[in-house]
Amino acid sequence: MVKLDQINISNDGLTKFFSPIEAAILKTLWTEGEMMTSELTEKTKIPLTSIAGTLDRLVKAGYAARRIDNVNGRVRYVYAPVYTEDEVATEITTKIMDSLVESFGHVAIENFSKYSDKK
């Protein structure tokens, strides 16, 4: 969960920074917007027993928000992403760059500028 000590560079895509279940939930929320728990389990194909704890963690960490919905006496959570995909990308990039600059100082900054020249 976007903690620098848990970044795993060898993983693919978002799972570098999030657990596979966290990544699946976030991706689904980014594409679909608001979703009920049952819709999330259907879309991600992850059973509720595995998804519930992760949803609690995402909400606690501030990546997802939920509200209570009550239809004809049936209650349920409706989830929504708190940040857009770009905002999360910016947050992660800033964290990593900060840590690189902190460790390597001007060498890191020189490499950033080389990188942007190449682009």
Partner 1 sequence: MNLLGEINCFAVCLKLSEFAMLVALLIVISISLLAASFMIKMPKHRLLTFVSAQIAAFLAIITTFYLMKCDGMLTIYLYSGYAVISTALIFGVQRFYDRLMIKRLNAKPISNVIGWVQEFTGRLANATVYYYDAAVPRAFAAGKSIFVSFGLLEMLSDDELKAVLAHEAWHIRNNNRAPYMKQLAIMTFSSPGREEIEELADRYAAEIAGSEALSRARSKLDKVFI
Binding site for partner 1 (CB under 8 A): 37, 48-49, 51-53, 55-56, 59, 66, 68, 70, 73, 75-77
CA-based nearest residue to 56, from 35, 74, 34, 79: 79
Of 53 and 105, CB closest to partner 1: 53
Of 27 and 76, CB closest to partner 1: 76
Of 14 and 25, CB closest to partner 1: 25
CA-based nearest residue to 29, from 49, 59, 69: 59
CA-based nearest residue to 58, from 36, 93, 82: 82
CB of 19 to partner 1, least distance (A): 16
